[in-house]
Homo-oligomer: A and B are copies of this chain.
Amino acid sequence: LRKRCGWSEKLTGCGFRLTKAREVIIEVLKNTKEHLSAEDIYMTMHQEYPEIGLTTVYRTLEVLHSTGIVDKFDFDERRARFELSEEFGSKKHHHHLICTKCQKIVDYFDFMDEEINYLEIVTKGLSKKYDFNIKGHLISFHGICSNCK
C-alpha cells in the first residue's frame, strides 16, 4: 500500500524546504500546456512576484528535476524546457512530433496499440540486456509539418 503524495510531501521527504518560490513555480507549471523555459517561467511570475529572481527559478527547477517532480527536455535549441512530470502534472505522458523547419512541437497522447506494446516489451528487454534500471523514455519524431511543406 503506497501512500499517494503531492509534490510538497515529496520535497520535504527529500529534505527540501517548502518555500514561496517553489510553490509559485509549480503553480506556473500547472497552469500551462507548453514546455516552458526557465525564463518563460520567470517572466510569467515576475508581475506578481517580482521579488523572486531568475537564479532562484534555475535553482528551483534543478531541485524539482532532481526529485522527479519536473521533467527536463533538450530539444534542438540552446535552452532547456520543463514541465511537470506525469505523476504531478495534469498532463498525461506523451511523445513529441517536432517540425525541423519552424520548430513547432506537437505533443501526442493518443498512442497506438503498437506503441504501448513496443514500449513495454523493449523496456523489459533493454533492462535485462544492458543491466539498466530504466526509469523512462523520450521519444520524438521529426520532420516537416503541414504548414511548412
Interface readout for A107-137 with B: 1 if CB under 8 Å, 0 if not?
0100010110110011101110111111111
Which residue of B135, B141, B145 is within 8 Å of A100 (Cβ)?
B135
Which of B114, B126, B131 contacts A118, CB < 8 Å? Answer: B114
Residues of B within 8 A of A77 (CB): 74
A146 touches B134 (CB 8 A): no
- The yes or no answer to A48 lying at the interface (CB within 8 A) is no
A103 to chain B, nearest CB (A): 13
Cβ A137 vs Cβ B139 within 8 A: yes
Is there a chain B Cβ closer than 8 Å to A51's Cβ?
A: no
Chain A positions within 8 Å of B, measured between CB atoms, are: 72, 74-77, 97, 99-100, 106, 108, 112, 114-115, 117-118, 121-123, 125-127, 129-146, 149
